[in-house]
Amino acid sequence: MATEIERKFLVEGEAWRHGAEGKRYRQGYLSTDKVRTVRVRTIGDAGFLTIKGATRGFSRLEFEYSIPGEDAESMLKTLCFEPIIDKTRYRVRVGEHVWEVDEFHGVNAGLILAEIELGSEDEAFERPDWLGAEVSDDARYFNSNLVEHPYSTW
Question: Which one from 29, 65, 90, 141 is the annotated catalytic residue?
Answer: 29
Of 132, 119, 122, 40, the residue nearest 78 (C-alpha) = 40
Pairwise CA distance, residues 22 & 104, whole Å: 12
Pairwise CA distance, residues 67 & 88, whole Å: 21
Residues belonging to the chain: 154
Active site includes 29?
Answer: yes
Phi and psi of 94, rounded to 5°? -135, 110
Cα–Cα separations (whole angstroms), residue 17 to 43, 77, 90, 135, 144? 20, 31, 8, 21, 25
Residue 32 corresponds to which amino acid? T
- 3-state secondary structure (DSSP) of residue 55: coil
> Which residue numbers are catalytic?
29
